[in-house]
Amino acid sequence: MLSRKRQRRYITEKGRQWLEELAAFDESRDEEALHRLRLGIKKIRALVRLSEGVRGKRLAGDFRRLKKMFRQAGVIRDTNNQLHLLEERQLLSPEYKEQQVRQIGAAADKFARKIKSYQKTGKKAERQLLADVHSIRGRRIRRWFADEIIGTGILLTSAGDELHLARKKIKTLLYVLKLLPHGLAAQLNLDKEYLDRLQSAIGKWHDTLVAASDWPDKGTAGEQQLMRECRDKEQAIRVLADDFYRKAHR
């Protein structure tokens, strides 16, 4: 069983962490603070999805008001990642870098102006979640994991956004798995290393795909290089994801 007390403690801990990172970004504009902020929210959201999945009830509508904050932080984070990716491949022109750096700065300024509002909304959402969580029986958790694994396997046979969605599902499974009591997690018999390796491969493919899609000079050698890399990484994912259901279990 996943107790109410354990869930409340988890929500409080992760809520404190992401609020601290929000304050840290306000002071330093450190892009890594945004990464840690988004990670804390993802972990709370994973618990929300588990609870909604087993109870069939939407939880804490105010928590979803943070979606805009989460996405804005993601734009800043993703743009930085693209710059690093292009620099590593020596594909980043000074002009394009300057344009992207200005874009990141403007987005960071806009984000910072709303921090107090985000803090207020986040604290309210946390109070609502803490009041709304209930203990979840082990058999319902096992059924939820089984359904999610099957759904993920179906997504992995597709491409594009479906692959990206499969990665989100895998990461949700991994976050929830870490939250569960050891005995219950062991009963699921999941190969965490394999799942993490697969989601990481999809993430690297998606980063390259986004960089290629945003490439300013269509049809150039740079874009063609990125697209070849995308195809190679997608093929590697296909090999890794083959027979997913069997590989996902130890």
pLDDT at residue 224, rounded to an integer: 82
Domain count, the chain: 2
Helix axes 4-28, 94-113, angle to 10 degrees: 120
Are 161 and 171 part of one and the same domain? yes
128 and 211 inside one domain: no
User: For residue 190, what is the DSSP state?
Assistant: B
| Contact criterion met (CB below 8 Å) for 237 and 155 | no
Examine the domain organization and report whether 198 and 237 are in the same domain: yes
Does 196 lie in the same domain as 114?
no
Domain range for 157: 137-250
Q: Which residues of 75-109 are buried (b: 16+ CB within 10 A; e: fewer)?
A: bbbbbbbbbebbeeeebbeeebeeebeeebeeebe
Compute the distance between CA of residue 164 and CA of residue 158 in angstroms, rounded to an integer: 10
Same domain, yes or no: 78 and 22: yes
Same structural domain for residues 187 and 203? yes
Q: How far is it, in rounded angstroms, from Cα 93 to Cα 86?
A: 9
- Check whether residue 121 and residue 182 sit in a common domain: no
Residue that finishes a domain, picked among 80, 107, 136: 136
Q: Which pLDDT does position 148 carry in this prediction? A: 95
Query: Do 53 and 147 have their domain in common?
Result: no
Give the separation between CA 141 and CA 183, rounded to whole angstroms: 13
Whether residues 111 and 187 share a domain: the answer is no
Over its length of 250 residues, how does the chain's per-residue pLDDT go in tens digits?
899 999 999 999 988 888 898 888 888 888 888 889 889 989 998 998 898 888 776 765 656 667 778 888 888 888 888 888 888 888 778 887 888 888 888 888 888 888 888 888 888 888 888 888 889 999 999 999 999 999 999 999 987 789 999 999 999 999 999 999 999 999 999 999 999 999 999 999 998 888 877 777 666 777 788 888 889 999 999 999 999 999 999 7
Do 132 and 35 share a structural domain?
yes
Among 86, 119, 136, where does a domain finish? 136
Looking at the structure, tell me whether residues 2 and 113 fall in a common domain: yes
Domain match, 118 and 157 both: no
Quick check: 188 and 224 in contact, CB under 8 A? Answer: no
Q: Which of 136, 156, 176 delimits the end of a domain?
A: 136
